[in-house]
Structure 1
Amino acid sequence: MNFPAQEELSDRRKRSLRHARWLEIGTIFYNVTEAGISVTAGLLSGSPALVSFGFDAAVEAISASVLFWRLVSEESGVAQSVLSRRTKVTLYVLSLVFLLLGGFILYESIEKLASQKQPDFSLVGVVILCLSLIVNPMLSFRKRRVGKKLDSHELIMDSREQLICLYMTVVVLAGLLLNKYLGWWWADPIAALLIVPYVLIQAWKAFRKAQNAGH
Structure 2
Amino acid sequence: MTAGGEVDRRVVLRRRIRLLVTATITYNVIEAVVAIAAGTVAGSVALIGFGLDSVIEVTSAAAIAWQFAAADPERRERTALRIVAGSFFALAAFVTVEAVRTVTTGDEPDRSTVGIVLVAVSVVVMPFLSWAQRRAGRELGSASAVADSRQTLLCTYLSAGVLVGLVLNALLGWWWADPLVALGLAVVAVREGRNALRGEVCCTPTRLDDACGCAPGCTAPCCAGASR
Q: TM-score range by the shorter chain?
A: 0.7 to 0.9
SS at match of 2:83: helix
Structure 1: how far apart are the matches of 2:191 and 2:32?
Answer: 22
Pairing 1:113–2:110 present = no
Change (3 A) 1:198 1:135: same
Pairing 1:47–2:44 present = yes
Structure 2: how far apart are the matches of 1:92 and 1:72?
Answer: 17
TM-score in terms of structure 2 length: 0.81
* Correspondence list, 1:144-183, <5 A: 144-183=134-173
Partner of 2:61: 64
Percent of pairs identical after alignment? 36
Structure 2: how far apart are the matches of 1:95 and 1:44?
Answer: 32
SS at match of 2:69: helix
SS at match of 2:63: helix
Q: Which consecutive residues of structure 1, in runs of 5 or more, have no partner in the other structure? A: none
Q: Which consecutive residues of structure 2, in runs of 5 or more, have no partner in the other structure? A: 205-228
**Which of the numbers 6, 16, 19 marks the counterpart of 1:19?**
16
* Correspondence list, 1:62-211, <5 A: 62-73=59-70, 76=71, 78=72, 83-84=74-75, 86-210=76-200
Native 8 Å contact 1:36 1:54 kept in 2: yes
1:213 Cα deviation after fit: 7.1
Pairing 1:38–2:31 present = no
1:126 Cα deviation after fit: 0.8
Partner of 2:213: none
1:9 Cα deviation after fit: 6.6
Partner of 2:215: none
Native 8 Å contact 2:141 2:203 kept in 1: no
1:24-80, CA deviations, whole angstroms, 9 ceiling, x for partnerless residues?
11111111111111122223323232222222211111111110111121xx2x4xx
Structure 2: how far apart are the matches of 1:45 and 1:102?
Answer: 24
Higher relative contact order (CA 8 A, sep 6+): 1
Native 8 Å contact 1:27 1:61 kept in 2: yes
Structure 1: how far apart are the matches of 2:203 and 2:155?
Answer: 28
Residue 19 of structure 1 aligns with an amino acid whose one-letter code is R
Residue 42 of structure 1 aligns with an amino acid whose one-letter code is G
Between Structure 1 and Structure 2, the one with more helix by share is 1
1:214 Cα deviation after fit: 9.2
TM-score in terms of structure 1 length: 0.86
Residue 67 of structure 1 aligns with an amino acid whose one-letter code is I
Structure 2: how far apart are the matches of 1:25 and 1:185?
Answer: 34
